[in-house]
C-alpha cells in the first residue's frame, strides 16, 4: 500500500513541479500550494494549508533529497485546525547544510489520499562554508488590479541559481481599493465576506474597505496566494520575510493606524493582533512555530509581545539581518492633528539647543509668535475671534464635530505660544483684516511652528507624514531629541537596537546585509539647489522654493535616530543595506563605505505615480504651467538634491521612480553585486504569465558592485 502511494505521489509531484510554462493555480486540498522559509544549516520551515479536512490528523509532511522521494529524510504527522485558519507550519529538522531538498504534504490515505505539489527548498551553509550566495530581494506586491510579472521574470531567469528570496514587506495590502494607489479589476480584486468586521473608507456611496477582522486578513492572504506565479515562487525557493506597514495598516506605528489623520483614536490592539495572527498563519516564518516544531500562534508572540526581527548566518560570506521597523516605532514627530499654529519649538528652547549664533543666522526664517495667555488677558476679543475661526476650520475638516466640541478643541490649542503668521492666515481666509502687522511681528519672539514645517490643515498627512519643509522639520526633530531624549525617535526600540548592534558587530561574515523595510536614503527635493532652481516654472510659488522632505514615514522622519544607526553600522564594516517600502529604485552612497540598495516594488503603485497623483491633485502645484515637466524629472530632482548637499551626507547614485521589478544580489568573498531588474509601471496591468519571451524583452538590468569599500557600476 505504501509503495503504491509513493508511485502515485511521484507521478503527481513530477507533473506538478515541471509544468512551469503555463502555470495553473493549485487546487484540491492544497489550493495555496506549499511554501518554505527561514532556512538554517539543519532546518527549514515548511508550510501548507489544507481546506476544511474531514480528517484533521491525516496530514503528513515529507522531505527528501530527490524529487521522486526515494530518499525521505524527514517525515512528520501534523494536525490541521480551524484555529490556525487550516494553515500548517512545520520545522523540518536533522537536515544537511547547503543542500537542496524536496518536500510535500500528503493528506489521507487510500481513495481519499491527496498530495500537494512538490516544493523545493535549500538549507543554509554553516558559518565556516566559504560559498558564493545569490538571492533575490522583493517587496510590495499589491494584487489589486495588478499582475506579478516581476515574479514571472524571476522564475524564468533564476530557477536554478538563487538560494533564497528575501521579502522586505507589504506581502499583502490591507485595503480592497484605495483610490490613491489601487486599481481594482474584475479579475484582480478582493471583496470581503465580512464587511461588518472591516473598516469602511472613502466615499460613503462607493466605499472601499480596510481589513480589521481576522477573517478579513485571512481572506487577503488567501487571495494573494491564489496567484499561480506567486505560488511557484514559494514552491521553488525558501523565503525569508519581514513585514512593513500594510501587513497591518498603511503608515502604521505600533497598533495605531492613520486613515483618519487624528480625527479619531485609531489604536486597536485587537486589529493588530488579527493582522499578526494571519501573517504568522500564512507566511513561512519560524516565528509562529513552537518549540515542538509545529505551528503555535499564542499571546506570547502577538502584540504587545511582537518580536519578528531575526538574523540568518549563511556561510562565511553572508549574514542576513532583518529588522521590524513598524512595531516598536513612536508616532511621527509631527502628529496628523497637530494645530498648524502651535509653536513646536520656542525661541529660548532654540537658543538653548542650537546656540545663539545659529539662531541669530536663521531667525529671519522663523515664525513670530504670541503667548495666547498674555494675549487673552490683554485682548480677549482677539483670542475669542481666533478660537471661533479655528473652531470653524475644525468643523470644516471634521463634520462629525459639533460646535461645542470644536470650540473646546480650538480653545485647548490656544493656550501656549501660537504663530502670528497662522493667525493672520486664519483671519485672511475668513475675510477679516489680519491683526498682526509686520511692525508688530518684528517685535515678537520667533520659533518653529507646525505651519512652518508644512502643516496647513487641522487633520492631514501632508505636513505630518509627507511633504514637509526639510529645514524647520530637522530643527524641530533636533530640539525634540535634545529636550525630550532619544525615545521620541526610537524607531526600532531599545531591545531591537541592542540586538542589531550585537549581531552586526559580532558577525564574522564578509558581508552583513541589513534588510530594512523602510529606506534610509533621503527623499529630499531641494528647489534651492543650483542644479534645480533654474529648472522651475516661472510661476512656481515662493513658499515651495525651499527644501522639501517627501516622506517622514521613512528614516527621514527620524533624523537623529538615523545618525545613531549609521554610527552603529559604521562599527560593522562590510554592512550593506537593502530596503523596500518606497516603490522606487535607489542606489545610495551614505559615506563611510555604507551603501544602500532599494530595488523596485514587485507590483505596487510606484512612487512616481503616487507623487504625480498627489501633485496634480494639489490646489496650487497641480495648476502650475510646466508642472508635468517637473514631475517627469522626479528621479533627476531627487538625485541632484543630494549632490554636494548642505543637509545630507548621502548621495543617490542611481534612481528610477516609475518601474517595477526585483533585485538579485550576488555575494562572494570579494564582491557584492546587485542587479536591478526593472520594467515600466504600465506593464503591471497586463498578464505576461504565459509569454516569457515578450516579458523578457520588457526588462532592463542595471548592475552595481561593491568591492574594497567602494562602489562601481557594472559587475
Ligand atoms: Fe508598499
Percent of the chain predicted with pLDDT > 70: 97
State the SS3 of 604-644.
Answer: CCCHHHHHHHHHHCCCCHHHCCCHHHHHHCHHHHHHHHCCC
- Give the Å distance between the CA of 604 and the centre of ligand 1: 6
- Give the Å distance between the CA of 344 and the centre of ligand 1: 31
- Give the Å distance between the CA of 517 and the centre of ligand 1: 9
Report the chain's mean pLDDT, rounded to a whole number.
Answer: 94
- Give the Å distance between the CA of 224 and the centre of ligand 1: 15
Q: Is the pLDDT of residue 393 over 80?
A: yes
Tens-place pLDDT, residues 491-549: 999 999 999 999 999 999 999 999 999 999 999 999 999 999 999 988 888 888 999 99
Sequence-separated (6 or more) residues with CB below 8 Å from residue 191 = 176
- Give the Å distance between the CA of 247 and the centre of ligand 1: 10
- Give the Å distance between the CA of 605 and the centre of ligand 1: 8
- Give the Å distance between the CA of 358 and the centre of ligand 1: 39
- The pLDDT of residue 6: 38
- The pLDDT of residue 9: 37
* 105/308 Cα distance (integer angstroms): 26
Q: Is the pLDDT of residue 394 over 50?
A: yes
- Give the Å distance between the CA of 246 and the centre of ligand 1: 7
DSSP 441-483: HHTS-EEEETGGGT--SSS-SBTTTEEEEHHHHHHHHHHHHHH
Tens-place pLDDT, residues 88-131: 999 999 999 999 999 999 999 888 899 999 999 999 999 999 99
For residues 188-212, average pLDDT: 97
Sequence-separated (6 or more) residues with CB below 8 Å from residue 64 = 70, 71, 72, 73, 101, 102, 103
Range in 103-117, 304-318, 585-599 the model is least confident about = 103-117
Tens-place pLDDT, residues 157-171: 999 999 999 999 999
Q: Is the pLDDT of residue 14 over 70?
A: no
- What are the φ and ψ backbone dihedral angles of 457, each rounded to 5 degrees? -110, 160
Q: Is the pLDDT of residue 15 over 60?
A: no
- What are the φ and ψ backbone dihedral angles of 74, each rounded to 5 degrees? -150, 135
- What are the φ and ψ backbone dihedral angles of 586, each rounded to 5 degrees? -140, 135
* 268/245 Cα distance (integer angstroms): 14
Q: Is the pLDDT of residue 4 over 80?
A: no
Query: Which residues crowd ion ligand 1, with CB under 5 Å?
Result: 140, 170, 604
For residues 141-159, average pLDDT: 98
- The pLDDT of residue 621: 80
Cell 524629472 sits at which residue? 633
- Whether 167 contacts 135, CB under 8 Å: no
Phi-psi region of 110 (alpha: psi -120 to 50; beta: other; left: phi over 0): left
State the SS3 of 501-546.
Answer: HHHHHHCCCCEEEEEECCCCCCCEEECCCCCCHHHCCCCCCHHHCC
Q: Is the pLDDT of residue 312 over 70?
A: yes
- Whether 311 contacts 321, CB under 8 Å: yes
Give me the helix-helix angle, 380-397 and 403-413, nearest 10°: 120
Percent of the chain predicted with pLDDT > 90: 90
How far is C-alpha 236 from the chain's CA centre? 25
- Whether 75 contacts 61, CB under 8 Å: yes
- What are the φ and ψ backbone dihedral angles of 36, each rounded to 5 degrees? -140, 160
For residues 592-605, average pLDDT: 97
Confidence of residue 23 (pLDDT cuts 50, 70, 90): low
CA distances from 377 to 24, 384, 415, 435 (A): 75, 11, 12, 16
Sequence-separated (6 or more) residues with CB below 8 Å from residue 715 = 673, 703, 705
Amino acid at each position: 500500500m505504501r509503495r503504491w502511494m509513493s508511485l502515485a505521489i511521484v507521478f503527481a509531484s513530477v507533473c506538478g513541479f515541471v509544468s512551469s510554462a503555463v502555470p495553473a493555480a493549485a487546487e484540491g486540498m492544497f489550493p495555496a500550494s506549499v511554501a518554505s522559509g527561514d532556512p538554517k544549516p539543519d532546518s527549514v520551515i515548511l508550510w501548507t494549508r489544507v481546506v476544511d479536512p474531514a480528517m484533521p490528523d491525516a496530514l503528513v509532511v515529507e522531505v527528501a533529497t530527490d524529487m521522486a522521494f526515494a530518499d525521505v529524510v524527514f517525515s512528520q504527522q501534523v494536525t490541521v485546525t480551524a484555529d490556525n485558519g487550516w494553515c500548517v507550519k512545520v520545522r523540518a529538522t536533522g537536515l544537511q547544510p547547503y543542500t537542496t531538498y524536496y518536500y510535500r504534504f500528503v493528506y489521507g490515505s487510500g481513495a481519499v489520499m491527496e498530495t500537494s505539489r512538490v516544493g523545493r527548498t535549500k538549507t543554509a551553509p554553516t558559518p565556516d562554508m566559504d560559498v558564493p550566495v545569490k538571492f533575490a530581494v522583493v517587496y510590495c506586491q499589491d494584487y489589486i488590479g495588478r499582475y506579478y510579472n516581476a515574479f514571472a521574470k524571476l522564475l524564468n531567469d533564476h530557477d536554478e541559481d538563487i538560494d533564497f528570496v528575501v521579502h522586505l514587506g507589504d506581502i499583502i495590502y490591507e485595503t480592497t481599493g484605495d483610490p490613491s494607489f489601487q486599481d481594482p479589476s474584475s479579475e484582480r480584486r478582493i471583496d470581503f465576506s465580512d464587511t461588518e468586521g472591516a473598516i469602511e473608507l472613502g466615499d460613503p456611496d462607493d466605499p472601499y474597505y480596510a481589513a480589521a477582522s481576522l477573517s478579513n486578513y485571512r481572506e487577503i492572504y488567501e487571495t494573494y496566494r491564489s496567484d499561480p506565479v506567486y505560488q511557484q515562487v514559494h514552491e521553488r525557493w525558501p523565503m525569508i520575510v519581514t513585514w512593513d506597514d500594510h501587513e497591518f495598516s498603511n503608515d502604521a506605528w505600533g497598533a495605531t493606524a492613520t486613515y483618519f489623520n487624528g480625527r479619531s483614536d485609531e489604536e486597536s490592539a485587537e486589529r493588530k493582533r488579527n493582522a499578526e495572527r494571519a501573517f504568522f498563519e500564512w507566511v513561512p516564518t519560524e516565528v509562529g512555530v513552537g518549540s515542538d516544531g509545529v505551528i503555535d500562534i499564542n499571546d506570547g508572540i502577538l502584540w504587545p509581545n511582537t518580536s519578528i526581527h531575526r538574523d540568518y548566518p549563511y556561510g562565511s560570506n553572508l549574514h542576513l539581518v532583518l529588522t521590524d521597523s513598524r512595531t516598536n516605532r513612536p508616532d511621527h514627530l509631527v502628529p496628523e492633528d497637530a494645530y498648524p499654529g502651535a509653536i513646536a519649538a520656542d525661541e529660548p528652547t532654540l537658543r538653548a539647543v542650537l546656540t545663539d549664533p545659529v539662531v541669530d543666522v536663521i531667525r529671519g526664517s522663523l515664525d513670530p509668535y504670541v503667548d495666547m495667555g498674555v494675549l487673552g488677558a490683554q485682548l480677549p476679543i482677539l483670542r475669542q475671534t481666533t478660537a471661533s475661526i479655528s473652531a470653524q476650520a475644525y468643523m470644516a475638516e471634521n463634520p462629525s464635530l459639533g460646535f461645542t466640541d470644536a470650540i473646546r478643541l480650538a480653545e485647548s490649542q490656544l493656550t501656549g505660544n501660537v504663530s502670528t503668521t497662522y493667525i493672520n492666515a486664519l483671519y485672511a481666509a475668513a475675510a477679516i483684516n489680519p491683526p498682526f502687522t509686520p511692525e508688530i511681528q518684528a517685535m515678537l519672539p520667533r520659533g518653529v511652528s507646525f505651519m512652518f514645517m508644512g502643516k496647513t490643515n487641522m487633520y492631514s498627512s501632508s505636513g505630518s507624514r509627507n511633504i514637509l519643509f526639510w529645514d524647520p522639520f530637522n530643527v524641530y526633530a533636533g530640539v525634540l531629541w535634545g529636550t525630550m531624549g532619544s525615545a521620541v525617535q526610537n524607531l526600532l526600540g531599545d531591545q531591537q537596537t541592542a540586538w542589531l548592534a550585537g549581531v552586526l558587530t559580532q558577525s564574522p561574515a564578509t558581508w552583513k546585509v541589513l534588510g530594512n523595510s523602510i529606506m534610509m536614503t533621503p527623499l529630499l527635493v531641494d528647489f534651492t539647489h543650483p542644479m534645480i532652481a533654474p529648472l522651475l516654472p516661472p510661476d512656481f510659488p515662493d513658499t515651495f522654493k525651499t527644501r522639501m522632505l517627501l516622506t517622514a514615514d521613512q528614516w527621514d522622519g527620524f533624523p537623529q535616530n538615523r545618525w545613531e544607526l549609521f554610527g552603529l553600522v559604521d562599527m560593522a564594516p562590510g554592512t550593506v543595506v537593502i530596503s523596500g517600502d518606497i516603490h522606487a529604485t535607489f542606489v545610495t552612497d551614505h559615506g563611510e563605505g555604507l551603501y544602500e540598495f532599494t530595488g523596485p516594488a514587485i507590483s505596487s503603485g510606484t512612487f512616481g505615480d503616487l507623487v504625480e497623483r498627489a501633485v496634480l491633485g494639489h490646489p496650487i502645484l497641480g495648476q502650475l504651467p510646466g508642472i508635468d515637466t517637473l514631475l517627469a524629472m522626479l528621479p533627476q530632482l531627487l538625485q541632484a538634491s543630494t549632490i554636494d548637499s548642505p543637509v545630507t551626507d548621502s548621495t543617490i547614485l542611481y534612481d528610477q521612480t516609475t518601474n517595477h521589478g526585483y533585485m538579485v544580489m550576488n555575494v562572494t568573498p570579494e564582491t557584492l553585486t546587485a542587479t536591478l531588474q526593472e520594467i515600466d509601471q504600465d506593464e503591471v496591468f497586463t498578464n505576461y504569465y504565459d509569454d516569457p519571451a515578450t516579458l523578457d524583452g520588457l526588462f532592463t538590468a542595471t548592475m552595481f558592485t561593491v568591492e574594497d569599500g567602494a562602489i562601481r557600476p557594472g559587475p
